Amino acid sequence: MNLADSEIVASLLSKDNYAIEKDINQADFILINTCAIRDNAEQRIRKRLRELRALQRTHQGLKIGILGCMAERLQKQLMEEEDNVSFIVGPDAYRNLPQMLDNIKDGEKLAETLLSETETYDDIEPVRYDTNGITAYISIMRGCQNYCAYCVVPYTRGRERSRDPRTIVDEARSLFEKGYREVTLLGQNVNSYRWEAESGKRKAESEEHDLFTNHYSQITNSVGFPQLMAMVAEVSPLLRVRFATSHPKDLSDELLQVMARYDNICKCIHLPVQSGSERMLKLMNRRYTPEWYLGRIDAIRRYLPTCSITTDVIAGFCTETEEDHQATLEMFRKVRYDYAYMFKFSMRPNTYAAKYLQDDVPDDVKTRRLEEIIALQGEIALENNQKEVGKTFEVLIEGVSHRSEGQLFGRNSQNKVIVFERGNLQPGQYANVKVTRCTSATLIGEVVDNK
Ligand code: 5AD
Ligand code: SF4
């Protein structure tokens, strides 16, 4: 999400005659886009700011700005604590950046952190400044109002709002025409994507627009996530479509049916579980039970038998007992995730947990529980990968392998990385690759025929 936001910032600034400077020693401004989700993300930024002091001493006039969730969370306090920061800009205020940079004087401190109920930057075409030219993110909505008890996002990114689907499809089409072959639609909770044509004028416009004559063969003034996925998938069968992130409470059968209908919608679902314990899920305000979550997993397997499933999990949330932790391990054994992002709970100021709960699981216990989850997941991922040996997958080639110039790497629909001999293939092409061996993180294979 931050990557996508940085591309919007780059676009807004390049319109105003600013350019990206790759040599940090030549830059007039350094903009640091920040995350506030866990304390260690914020500590990394503070460390970076300390490291930049030396550069600031030798480079008169160099100004540092903090963008994103940390700016939003800490507001002006951040500039008081970090005196080498000249300005801060929250996630909904990036349109003010060009004017800020134009006008800021030496010694001045500026802050723009107003959150918006409508800003989606839908008219801004992101500048893909650090890209492989093959895969890209498209932000389809902003904000979140699920208020999970541990999470700072609703406070730093504001209310949920969806972007005009026409601008999303146009962006996907323009990327495809430039040679991109995969887009990932991004939102905090994509399943609650919903765009309504509000005003009469807008309604009239959208009725004329052919995008709204989609595969449901009817004209509609309201677009939900399954329809949006279908529209993007129809840009071209050669354009792969992925999405992140789904909240389990909103994962609909309709979406699974659309995924089954289009080969180019990738068969990979990221479904953050957070905990396997019913009591923890309730305390976290996740609004589903373990049984309900497992029901969604069954639905995925039913509609999409080849689909990979990945997750996020938090170890050591407030009051978590050994029994709760065991329930999480049990959930991992039942679902057998292909990949998991695994975190130690980090108390965030202002959240429900900070206001009403105690961060009472000792750090060494959190660490041990996290390590147990990581170890179990490592075994499961390896076993899952071993089952892929002998199968052939269509792979979108993304680049040259980091290990060896003679090898390429790409991903299959399930988002698994596959490495294979280069031959005369190029990044951006599709190839059919047969898996010959694997590790827990990578499949290794050989090309069987060329497309
Ligand atoms: N502590 C640890 N992990 C967190 N996440 C969100 N908030 C916290 C927190 N306070 C994790 C969740 C979420 C992912 C993006 O980050 O697992 O799905
Ligand atoms: Fe945070 Fe929950 Fe929203 Fe995800 S769904 S961003 S965890 S509040």
Same domain flag for 144 and 181 = yes
Residue 344 Cα: closest atom of ligand 1: 2
Q: How far is the CA of 164 from the centre of ligand 1 (A)?
A: 28
The closest-lying atom of ligand 2 relative to the alpha carbon of residue 189 is: 5
358 CA to centre of ligand 2 in angstroms: 20
Instruction: Encode pLDDT of 58-70 as tens digits.
Output: 998 999 999 999 9
**Residue 319 domain flag:** yes
152 C-alpha to center of ligand 2: Å?
A: 8
Q: Which ligand is nearest to the CA of 2?
A: 1
Give the ligand 1 atom nearest the CA of 152. 7
Mean pLDDT of all residues in 403-427:
95
Q: How confident is the model at residue 55 (pLDDT cuts 50, 70, 90)?
A: very high
Please check the confidence at residue 221 and state whether its pLDDT lies above 90: no
Which pTM does this prediction carry? Answer: 0.94
Band of the pLDDT at 220, cuts 50, 70, 90? low
Residues 300 and 397 in one domain: no
Q: Are residues 105 and 194 in the same domain?
A: no
pLDDT at residue number 450: 57
Statement to judge: residues 239 and 278 lie in one domain: no
The answer to the question of residue 125 being in a domain is: no
Tell me which ligand sits closest to the C-alpha of residue 38: 1
Residue of 312 and 403 predicted with greater confidence: 312
Question: Ligand 1: residues whose CB is within 6 Å?
Answer: 37-38, 150-151, 272, 274, 312, 314, 343, 345-346, 348
154 shares a domain with 260 = yes
Domain tally for the chain? 4
pLDDT in tens, 170-181: 999 999 999 999
Indicate which CATH number applies to the domain containing 104. Answer: 3.40.50.12160
405 shares a domain with 342? no
pLDDT at 428: 96
157 lines ligand 2 (CB under 6 A): no
Q: Per the structure block, which two tokens stand in for 235?
A: 């840009």
Q: Are residues 334 and 408 in the same domain?
A: no
* Ligand 2 atom closest to Cα of residue 245: 4
User: Taking 60 as the threshold, does the pLDDT of residue 206 lie above it?
Assistant: no
Model confidence at 205, pLDDT cuts 50, 70, 90, reads very low
Give yes or no for residue 235 CB within 6 A of ligand 2: no
Instruction: Tell me, in angstroms, the distance from the centre of ligand 1 to residue 151's CA.
Output: 6
Mean pLDDT of 127-135: 95
Answer whether residue 214 shows pLDDT above 70: no
**Do residues 312 and 414 share a domain?**
no
Residues near 92 by beta carbon (within 8 Å), at least 6 away in sequence: 114, 115, 116, 119, 142, 157, 158
Ligand 2 pocket check: which of 188, 288, 341 to mutate, most ligand atoms within 8 Å of Cβ?
Answer: 188
**Ligand 2 atom 1: the closest Cα is on which residue?**
151
When comparing pLDDT for 284 and 405, which is higher?
A: 284
- Closest ligand 2 atom to 147 CA: 8
Q: Please tell me whether residues 22 and 62 are part of one structural domain.
A: yes
Of 266, 294, 324, the position where a domain reaches its end is 266
pLDDT for 402 equals 87
For atom 5 of ligand 2, which residue has the closest CA? Answer: 146
- Write down the mean pLDDT value for the chain: 94
Q: Do residues 85 and 8 share a domain? A: yes
153 lines ligand 2 (CB under 6 A): yes
pLDDT > 90 fraction of the chain, expressed in percent and rounded = 92
Spatial CA neighbour of 317 closest among 344, 278, 290: 344
- In whole angstroms, give the CA distance from residue 296 to residue 286: 14
Ligand located closest to 248 CA: 2
Domain span including residue 262: 131-266
**Residue 38 C-alpha to ligand 1 middle, in angstroms?**
7
What do you get for the CA distance between the two ends of the chain, in Å?
A: 33
Binning pLDDT at 50, 70 and 90, where does residue 102 land?
Answer: very high
Dist. CA 189 → ligand 2 center (Å):
8
Query: Does residue 117 fall inside a structural domain?
Result: no
Please indicate, yes or no, whether residues 39 and 99 belong to a single structural domain of this protein: yes
What CATH number corresponds to the domain at position 210?
A: 3.30.750.210
Q: Which atom of ligand 2 is nearest to the CA of 152?
A: 1
Contact 140, 187 (CB under 8 A): yes
Whether ligand 2 lies within 6 angstroms of the CB of 248 is answered as: no
Which ligand neighbours the alpha carbon of 160 most closely? 2
Residue to mutate, 275, 284, 332, 343, ligand 1, most ligand atoms under 8 Å from C-beta = 343
CATH of the domain at 398: 2.40.50.140
pLDDT band at 203 (very low <50, low <70, confident <90, very high): very low
| Cα of 272 from ligand 1 centre, angstroms | 10
Could you say which of 387, 403, 422 is where a domain stops? 387
What's the Cα-to-Cα distance from 245 to each of 85, 190, 221, rounded to whole Å?
Answer: 32, 6, 25
The pair of three-digit structure tokens given for residue 346, joined into one six-digit string? 């980090």
Q: Would you say residue 451 has pLDDT above 70?
A: no
Res 215 pLDDT > 50:
no
- Ligand 1: distance of its center to the CA of 276 in Å? 15
Q: Is 69 in the pocket of ligand 2 (CB under 6 A)?
A: no
| pLDDT reading at 319 higher than 70 | yes
